[in-house]
Amino acid sequence: MKFLIISLIIISTLSCRTAKQQPVVRIPNAIDTLETTADVQAFVKQVNLYIRGTWETPHIPDTLSPTDKPCKGLFDSIQTRSWYKEDFDGNGTTDLLVTGDLKYVVNKDTLYNKLYETYCILDTGKNNFTIRYLDLKGNKYEDNCCFYSVYKDTGSTGLINHSYIRWNHMGAFIPVSDTLVYKFGDFIELNKTPTRHTFGAISYENSDDYSYFRLIIRPDRRAEFSDGGVTGNVTTIDPLSYKRIIDILNYINLDGYKNGSPGQERQMLEVTYNEHNSAWIYGTYGSRALRLLYAELEKLKVTQKWERSY
């Protein structure tokens, strides 16, 4: 009997290892058949996805041609295309990365700076499509002048190169780039060497002129939140939601955010980890991973069953 149990464990272990080594099976879909920009245009219209910022039929140009001088300089240095086909979410089906749809339409005949919108159409299976916008909402120049392309890295697929322009403290334009990966259901900055931590308390605050939200999560998943002056809401976070938050925290490079300065940011995150380390994070630092984490923490208000502690 003992031999049988050991044999089953060995077989199970070998099966898991074999499964991990199997490549993702490619599944043909409608995106595979797209060959021209006109095909892409027709496809985007067919799947009937709402494109943020325009009420007209999505327009995908054959070539991108920004006219703003710094933005054009960035584009000329990278020469990105208006669309790419790639399996970005790793589920074996081809997805579509599209740049088009001018963001700010002043009137019917005048376009503001010819700035573009970029989004990824993902096949979630059996030709069912969803959309993820890649541009960050904001008024800063770097939020508006940005371009995306497929990033090829040894041993990796489905990565996106994000190039944009940032102002430095001297008022000069500096070209910057980072790599995005589809993880936790969205595109965030790639971390090639994530580190696992042991977490203590997690404290999150979000406030503006009209609202205030504060959440504290303890290592045993017990949590308390205050919202709009209502205090004493307590619960125990369900295991899957807590694990997702911890997984995102482990993927973020917390050491890179240590001891930030408050400034005028309305969001604040304080995390204790590995017993003696703490990170104070104010705002998002332009980080997609932090935005995703904040969204997950905000979701807990409605996904968990809260009770009054008094």
Locate 48 and state its tokens: 């009937």
245 contacts 297 by C-beta, under 8 angstroms: yes
Q: Which residues pair with 159 in a beta bridge?
A: 151
Domain ranges in the chain? 30-189, 199-308
DSSP 8-state class, residue 190: -
For the chain, the average pLDDT equals: 79
Inter-axis angle of helices 288-303 and 239-251, nearest 10? 170
**Is 256 or 126 the better-scoring residue by pLDDT?**
126
pLDDT for the residue numbered 229: 64
Three-class DSSP category at 166: strand
Distance CA 308, CA 297 (A): 19
Distance CA 129, CA 52 (A): 16
31 contacts 43 by C-beta, under 8 angstroms: yes
**Is 55 or 213 the better-scoring residue by pLDDT?**
213
158 contacts 152 by C-beta, under 8 angstroms: no
Percent of the chain's residues with pLDDT above 70? 74
265-274, pLDDT tens digit by residue?
Answer: 678 899 999 9
pLDDT for the residue numbered 154: 63
